[in-house]
Amino acid sequence: MAKQVQEAYIVAAARTPIGKSHRGAFRSMRSDDLLVAAIHAALKQAPGLDPAAIEDAIIGCAFPEAEQGMNMARVAALLAGLPNSVGGVTVNRFCASGVTAIQMAADRIRVGEADVMLAGGAESMSLVPMSGNKPAFNPAVFARDADVGIAYGMGLTAELVAQKWKVSREAQDAFALQSHQRAVAAIAAGEFADEICPVDVVDRVPDLASGRVGERRRTIALDEGPRADTSLAALGKLRPVFASPKDPSGRATGLGTVTAGNSSQTSDGAGALILASEAAVKRFNLQPLARFVGFASRGVPPEIMGIGPIEAIPAALKATGLKLDDLGWIELNEAFAAQSLAVIESCGLDPARVNPLGGAIALGHPLGATGAIRACTTIYGLRRRKQKYGMVTMCVGTGQGAAGIFEAL
């Protein structure tokens, strides 16, 4: 930002575990309740902060309706016990909603309009499905071939990317296996301990003998998605679940490559970060974890939305004056193995620096929360490994890419 007047520092970063949608621990838990848990955890990391100093809460959500509607940011801020003076706005850039919320909060501080901001993301794909409860595309989307891609299912866009970038089924399955292996190893090593806030869950359990409904309380402290038992053989047995490529006559070839195993998991989760100016850091005796360095978003054709980071990554590097080699850690959201591999190859990313603790194929992808969650992972990962710069980047439905850069302190 050429007109930046002060720095924005991340002084707290916390996230919930990521639950499997529909069958996981959070399947009946509202996303605003998950967000409240993350906010409480973030506030505990900044004990000297006066909550009344928070100017606004900016929260990302990909489908802000039903249980996660009604301006979830404001509702969650109040339910978390923040003063009435703290505002709230819910923002939507689909899969990049969480990192966009961080960027917006950081920019409020960097231009001098605020000293303390709350940012994050939350999503329940158990309660609000992909595309929402009532998908209703504008009929004009189907009037021109150039716009039809707006309505494409994400799986179809991944198939198109696999075709255009020649990403094989074998490569996708190998990438998916690596994601699980890295995530399982990371959990065993306690790599996520600093960022995860355990969440208490109350399950209602019927007692058939008495006819009453009892309660069972448990604490969820680990991500539910990673599987230690997966293998190339198991992944290879899964059938393609999205539209298959067609031959010149228009007949399906049956050679689709995108499966449930090499796609991101649908998930539930939330993340929250507190950002502060240097003046607020000194006033409240806060400990900066990282500095927000910069952000970029770019558009791409909707039908190949998965390649969005190919445009956003160079733009973010140019805006911040950094080079690719400066990035020690890159969280590339694994919407699909096909698009992840296409981005890695096209941008010349070092695979060892990309998702070192696994990605969304193993850990899950709670849409609007993912950017905030992966920001937490990046910040703590950089600090543990004594690296300086890290990036959170992802593709976005309807054809976008986004990338945010952080500097560990």
Active site residues: 95, 365, 395
Find the Cα–Cα–Cα–Cα dihedral 275, 277, 283, 285, rounded to 10°.
50
CA-CA distance, 314 to 304, in Å (whole number)?
Answer: 18
Other CB atoms within 10 Å distance of the CB of residue 24: 25
Evaluated on CA atoms 350, 353, 356, 360, the torsion sign reads negative
3-state secondary structure of 248: coil
Residue 406 CA neighbour count, 13 Å, CB half: 35
Other CB atoms within 10 Å distance of the CB of residue 228: 11
3-state secondary structure of 364: coil
Evaluated on CA atoms 286, 289, 293, 299, the torsion sign reads negative
Helix 337-347 crosses helix 308-320 at what angle (to 10 degrees)?
A: 40
Other CB atoms within 10 Å distance of the CB of residue 235: 22
Token code pair at residue 131:
């595309």
Length of the chain: 409
Q: Which amino acid is at 53?
A: A
CA-CA distance, 124 to 30, in Å (whole number)?
Answer: 7
Pick from 290, 265, 307: which is nearest to 393 by CA? 307
Give the burial string for 127-151 (b: 16+ CB within 10 Å, else e): bbeeeeeeeeeeeeeeeeeeeebbb
Cα angle value 179/171/312 (rounded, 5°): 70
